Amino acid sequence: MRPMLSIATAAVFLATAFAVQAGGDPAAGKTKAKACAGCHGATGQGVKPNPKLAGLPEAELDQMMKDYKSGKRPNPVMKSMTSSLSEQDMANLAAYYSSLK
Ligand code: HEC
As a whole number of angstroms, the distance between CA 90 and CA 37 comes to 15
Ligand 1 mean position, distance from CA 2 (Å): 30
As a whole number of angstroms, the distance between CA 45 and CA 3 comes to 35
The per-residue pLDDT for 46 is 97
The per-residue pLDDT for 6 is 73
The CB of 100 under 6 Å from ligand 1? The reply is no
The CB of 45 under 6 Å from ligand 1? The reply is no
As a whole number of angstroms, the distance between CA 69 and CA 53 comes to 17
- Band of residue 94 on the pLDDT scale cut at 50, 70, 90: very high
The CB of 37 under 6 Å from ligand 1? The reply is no
Ligand 1 mean position, distance from CA 51 (Å): 7
Q: Specify the residue with its C-alpha closest to ligand 1, atom 37.
A: 36
| 45-76: pLDDT as tens digits | 999 999 999 999 999 999 999 999 999 999 99
